[in-house]
Amino acid sequence: MTGRHDEIEYSMQITGHTRCLVDSGFAHIRKIFRRSDVDSVGPFHTLINKSAATNEAVSFQSAAWKWRNWKSFLSSQFRAVKRIRRFHHFRVTADDSWTVY
pLDDT in tens, the chain (101 residues): 678 889 999 988 777 666 677 778 888 899 999 999 998 888 999 999 999 888 899 887 767 777 778 888 888 888 887 888 888 899 989 888 788 88
Question: 51, exposed or middle or buried, with CB in 10 Å at 0-12, 13-18, 19+?
Answer: buried
Instruction: State how far the alpha carbon of 101 is from the alpha carbons of 22, 23, 97, in Å.
Output: 29, 29, 10
Residue 87 is classified by DSSP as -
Distance (Å, whole) CA 54 – CA 81? 37
